[in-house]
Amino acid sequence: MASEKNGSRSETDTTVEMPSQPRKIALITGITGQDGSYLTEFLLGKGYEVHGLIRRSSNFNTQRINHIYIDPHNVHKALMKLHYADLSDASSLRRWLDVIKPDEVYNLAAQSHVAVSFEIPDYTADVVATGALRLLEAVRSHSTDSGRSIKYYQAGSSEMFGSTPPPQLETTPFHPRSPYAASKVAAHWYTVNYREAYGLFACNGILFNHESPRRGENFVTRKITRALGRIKVGLQRKLFLGNLQASRDWGFAGDYVEAMWLMLQQEKPDDYVVATEESHTVEEFLEVSFGYLGLDWKEYVEIDKRYFRPTEVDNLKGDASKAKQVLGWTPKVGFEKLVKMMVDEDLELAKREKVLVDAGYMDAQQQP
């Protein structure tokens, strides 16, 4: 990593061996997150050299990309490189652009939890809204000074539509319902403005919810499948949830990162909705997931008011016609397949936990 884990962090992290054919270079913020990990795999598969910005944390935060990591001292094979930066630190963004000279920048970093954004609204706005502006400005000033052009992807969200009823598409008015969503709306318009004002190749992907076995454990789908695995092997009895009637257009993260890349391969920059065009309630997710393991969710789920939000987004269902027509993108994983994929992985994880618990190496209450 670009960390002290593998020796001191030095100039070697930024040394790039010249390949026989020039590789495209991508820079990803939020590389340690769910989407960052899938996008990295996708771009490496396309022959890119991938650089990721990671933030300093008191614990290592690279679990989702450890399997891709190759020691940077092995320069022939190490095509993913990590560097410390933060969206709240403009100087770090500009510095890494100057050093890495990317062809494409994917801005995936965010305080991405909607409920948490009500608790830390100021910080959320700083990272999600102003952070995007800082990165856009770094791209603009780097391009002006160097004469190089960079393509920019902004991770927009269906949360921006908020209370506007479905189906939601690119022309649907935004009505954000949280500090997170309002900040994403600001980032969306900053991106449009930099495109119009400076001719930047900048795209907004308006992505509806996308999940995977790598989803953060406090988002509702993963919270459910993690608990279900643990319940199935006897490590947990109850699952506490909030609003079960909210409806979401849930897709698979692995499919969605392809749409991000496709946006940057077009002749002209534009904004696209990315969605499965199917919507399901949280209750339906419970029915399908618990049913898959032969359990009745009603015996295990309790409603806890603390998980209700001050303002909720009731119903999201995208219309991805434009992405289908212009990008040629279609989702490959549907709702049931996604649920089963997540349940299968989390059941295996729970079985491994159970071995540790039974051997006395882990407390049943402890979550790894």
Which residues does the annotation mark as catalytic?
Answer: 157, 159, 180
227 binds ligand GDR, rule: CB under 6 A? no
Short-list 169, 180, 183, CA closest to 133: 183
- State the Cα–Cα distance between residues 26 and 48, nearest whole angstrom: 7
209 binds ligand NDP, rule: CB under 6 A? yes
109 binds ligand NDP, rule: CB under 6 A? yes
Residue 263 has a CB neighbour count (10 Å cut-off) of: 26
Q: Which stretch binds ligand GDR (CB under 6 A): 43-51, 255-263, 265-273, 307-315?
A: 307-315
Cα torsion for 190, 314, 255, 2, to the nearest 10°?
Answer: 60
**Site size with ligand NDP, rule: CB under 6 A:** 25
What does 29 interact with, of ligand NDP, ligand GDR, none (CB < 5 to 8 A by kind)?
A: ligand NDP
Residues in the chain: 368
CA–chain centroid gap for 177, Å, is 20
127 binds ligand NDP, rule: CB under 6 A? yes
Is the N-terminal amide bond of 173 cis, ω within 30° of 0?
Answer: no
What does 248 interact with, of ligand NDP, ligand GDR, none (CB < 5 to 8 A by kind)?
A: ligand GDR
> Which residues 236-255 are close enough to bind ligand GDR by CB under 6 A?
241-243, 246, 248
Determine the Cα angle at 127 with ends 96 and 118, to 5°.
165
What does 191 interact with, of ligand NDP, ligand GDR, none (CB < 5 to 8 A by kind)?
A: none
Can you list the alpha helix ranges (DSSP code H) found in the chain? 34-45, 90-100, 114-119, 121-124, 131-146, 179-198, 220-232, 253-263, 282-292, 321-322, 335-358
What does 109 interact with, of ligand GDR, ligand NDP, none (CB < 5 to 8 A by kind)?
A: ligand NDP
Q: Which residues bind ligand NDP (CB under 6 A)?
A: 29-30, 32-36, 55, 57, 61, 86-88, 108-112, 127, 155, 157, 207, 209-210, 216
Q: Which residues bind ligand GDR (CB under 6 A)?
A: 112, 114-115, 157-159, 208-209, 218-220, 223, 241-243, 246, 248, 282, 307, 309, 312
